[in-house]
Amino acid sequence: MMDNIAYFLDMMAAEKGSSTNTIAAYGRDLEQFLVFVGKKDCEVDNGDIEKFVQHLGAALFSPKTIARKLSAIREFYKFLYMEKLVKDNPALDILSPKQEKPLPKFLTENEISSLITTAKNDLSFSGRRLSAMLKLMYACGLRVSELVGLPDGCINFKENQIMIFGKGSKERIVPVARGAIEEIEEYKEFRDKHLNGQKSPWLFPSLHAKSGHITRDAFFKNIKNLAIKAGISPQKISPHVLRHSFATHLLDHKVDLRSVQKMLGHEDISTTEIYTHVVSQKLRDEVEKNHPLAKRACKM
């Protein structure tokens, strides 16, 4: 039995190039399974696997861990079946437990404010451009691909609106907060001086990128460095986190879900509904922290 595991793990290393950590984890998972079923050979049926899954669930293993162990069992029996070491593959119809989607990460309003303030302190062209991009992204919930490729004439300054070309070349018009509009107006004056008579079709041009505008990677690195300067862990921030923060903060301030859906450019409102779970969790945390009945020491 253990010889078959060693044979399988050798194949994983030689033919699939699996990492040392993956091979070690698969080895432990398979040994745990075969010890559980208590059979001298590897001939098991799908009932044995289902009982193992139930055992893991009762032992409070997470769905993610159970799914990983099942992956090891599937790969193992697929290998044994192809090598004709077992008559049937008992793992074919075994389903993994449903895993909950992780809630989107977001920054607090104070953290966003700190980032914007820190960016404003850099008076170089790169600093002014980053400040404008950060404020516009947070004001409108843009995807990073939408942000970096904004054309110069995308903003209607009279109506405080921006035209965005989203996924599938679909257009959407999003209102822009006045504070972000003013930031862009100041930035454009600074940008024109920086270009020194050169013309650019892009709102956020770059003299170094082949595309002519700042790249996604450059923006990603810039906001990571900005987070460090602002005293925020760089691991907490990414362009997507800024988009999540936009949606979460709007719902915090009672903006209706349909409006947030339109501004984010989601086709299906179920995609937007994930943010309501973030707000609900925040409300639960507040109740646990502040409600009199949540305080054990409180005498009613």
Joined tokens for residue 176: 């822009």
Reported as a single tens digit per residue, the pLDDT across 146-186 is: 999 999 989 999 999 999 987 767 889 999 999 999 999 99
Residue 88 in any domain: the answer is no
DSSP letter, residue 174: E
Q: What pLDDT is attached to residue 288? A: 59
Reported as a single tens digit per residue, the pLDDT across 274-283 is: 776 665 555 5
Considering its fold, how many domains does the chain have in total?
Answer: 2
Q: Which of 26-30, 96-100, 243-247, 272-276 has the lowest mean pLDDT?
A: 96-100
Please give the residue range of the domain that contains residue 68: 2-82
Q: How many other C-beta atoms lie within 10 A of the C-beta of residue 271?
A: 12
d(CA 275, CA 138): 15
Report the chain's mean pLDDT, rounded to a whole number: 85
Q: Mark whether 139 and 278 lie in a shared domain.
A: yes
Q: What pLDDT is attached to residue 58? A: 87
Joined tokens for residue 298: 């409180």
Q: What pLDDT is attached to residue 194? A: 87
Residue 269 binned pLDDT confidence (cut-offs 50, 70, 90)? confident
Q: Using N-to-C axis directions, what is the helix angle for 125-140 and 109-120, rounded to 10°? A: 160
Classify residue 118 as exposed, middle or buried by CB count within 10 Å of its CB (0-12, 13-18, 19+).
Answer: buried
Give the CATH number, domain containing residue 186. Answer: 1.10.443.10
**C-alpha distances in angstroms, 4 versus 23, 77, 88, 231?**
14, 10, 15, 53
Distance of CA 280 to the CA centre of its chain: 19
Last residue of a domain, one of 63, 82, 101: 82
Last residue of a domain, one of 82, 99, 121: 82
Q: Which residues of 159-173 are buried (b: 16+ CB within 10 A; e: fewer)?
A: eebbebbbeeeeeee
d(CA 94, CA 79): 16
d(CA 240, CA 100): 19
Q: Mark whether 114 and 233 lie in a shared domain.
A: yes
d(CA 68, CA 177): 46
Sign of CA dihedral 23, 29, 33, 39: positive
Give the CATH number, domain containing residue 78. Answer: 1.10.150.130
Average confidence (pLDDT) over 107-122: 92
List Cβ neighbours of 255 (8 Å cut-off, separation of 6 or more).
none
Average confidence (pLDDT) over 119-138: 93
* Catalytic center residues: 143, 167, 240, 243, 266, 275
Q: What pLDDT is attached to residue 294? A: 54
Q: How many other C-beta atoms lie within 10 A of the C-beta of residue 24?
A: 12
Strands 161-165 and 155-156: antiparallel
Q: Which of 56-60, 70-74, 170-174, 293-297 has the lowest mean pLDDT?
A: 293-297
d(CA 207, CA 125): 11
Q: What pLDDT is attached to residue 299? A: 46
Residue 114 binned pLDDT confidence (cut-offs 50, 70, 90)? very high
Q: What pLDDT is attached to residue 232? A: 93
